[in-house]
Amino acid sequence: MIHLPVAIVAHDAGGAEILSSLVRRTSFAAIFSLEGPAKTVFQRKIGSFPNLSLEKAVACANTVLCGTSWQSSHERDAISLARSAGKRAIAFLDHWTNYKERFSEGCLPHEIWVGDDAALRLADEAFPLIPKKLVENPYFLDIKEKLFETERKSEVIDVTGRILFICEPVREPGIRMHGNPLYWGYTEEDALTFFLEHIGAVHPSIREIVIRPHPSESKHKYEWVLDKARFRAVFSRNSDIVDDIAECDVVVGCSSTAMAIALQLHKRVICCIPPTGPRCRLPFKEIEYLREITETK
């Protein structure tokens, strides 16, 4: 149960996309404490708003509704403050991986929200004692509506041969959570290099590679791609990832939520985690594997 007003707390882009879509679709009284990429996401989708310190937001609210982060302790701190103040804390999981690592030991939310049946099963396995609520993913609803509007306007874009590469930081989370930059057996540069070395197996006639850094990353981190790529490579200029996905033929990544979004838009999706790393942990059988594609070529 939500007791109003609600403090919306987020740092990473994934949780911010879901929570901002939820705020747009509901009428509950919300106050905000946002950091990092979340501020840009909310400004893009709901406009200007007062952005409070975490302490003030929790003090002014009766319920805390937060995302989860690898990049920050902002949401974990919100849960801790809410519990200390005797207020209800709810976390909306925006992904399908590393659920236990998203919370502090001994400081879990009172309730967990998920956006689909697969996430619900995974959350039940990770946190059997915490109540769960299945809430249709509001961000995916926004995506479907945007796609419908695009098709209704008959905006036709030639996407043939345009490949979107979704960058996803792996090294820093490995260091922060496990003290090992190669905890998962690869880094983000390894995944991108693996893709570039086997790009010919992805598409018979590549026209352009669009590189989209993670919201927490600078494009300068990947400028080396412009010289190494055997095909024309550019950086994304779209603020909304849905535009990038709609304007491409194939989406390549590791375990990004963007890959799930691409499946919603009926795109071909390929996981480029190199053989030294694990399989993609997104629970979607439609995802192909570059390591398996190269074995058959």
Decide if 280 is inside a domain.
Answer: yes
The pLDDT value recorded for residue 153 is 45
49 and 92 in one domain?
yes
Cα separation values, 29 from 17, 60, 125, 139, 260, Å: 18, 11, 33, 19, 30
Residue 1 lies in a domain: no
Question: What's 208's DSSP letter?
Answer: E
Query: Does 202 share its domain with 280?
Result: yes
Q: Are residues 128 and 183 in the same domain?
A: no
Element (H, E) at 78: helix 74-84
Instruction: Give the whole-angstrom CA distance, residue 47 versus residue 212.
Output: 24
Look at residue 37 and tell me if it is in a domain: yes
pLDDT of residue 154: 43
**What is the rounded distance in angstroms from the CA atom of residue 35 to the CA atom of residue 40?**
9
Q: Is residue 145 part of a domain?
A: no
Q: Which of 140, 166, 183 is the last residue of a domain?
A: 140
Is the pTM of the predicted complex or chain greater than 0.85?
no
Q: Are residues 99 and 193 in the same domain?
A: no
Query: Is 274 a member of any domain?
Result: yes
Answer yes or no: is 169 within a domain: yes
Structural domain count, the chain: 2
Local confidence pLDDT in tens for the 297 residues of the chain: 687 899 999 999 889 999 999 999 997 899 999 999 999 999 999 999 999 999 999 999 999 999 998 768 999 999 999 999 999 999 999 988 888 888 887 889 999 999 999 999 999 999 999 999 999 999 989 888 877 665 544 455 678 889 999 999 999 888 988 899 999 999 999 999 999 999 988 888 889 999 999 988 888 999 999 888 888 999 999 888 888 998 899 999 999 989 998 998 889 999 999 999 999 989 899 999 999 998 765
Q: Is residue 177 part of a domain?
A: yes
Domain that holds residue 81: 6-140
Residue 1: how many other CB atoms lie within 10 Å: 8
**Domain co-membership, 52 together with 116:** yes
- The pLDDT assigned to 152 comes to 46
CATH of residue 98's domain is: 3.40.50.2000
Shared-domain flag, residues 265 and 177: yes
Domain membership of residue 292 (yes or no) is yes
Predicted pLDDT at 148: 66
Buried b (16+ CB within 10 A) or exposed e, 235-244: ebeeeebbeb
Domain boundary among 91, 109, 140: 140
Rounded to 5°, angle at Cα 115 from 112 and 118: 95
Are residues 43 and 114 both part of a single domain?
A: yes
Whether residues 107 and 205 share a domain: the answer is no
**49 and 127 share one domain:** yes
Which phi and psi (to 5°) does residue 88 adopt? -80, 135
* Residues 58 and 14 grouped into a single domain: yes
Last residue of one domain, picked from the residues 106, 140, 174? 140
The reply to whether 72 and 169 lie within a common domain is: no
User: Do 112 and 211 fall into the same domain?
Assistant: no
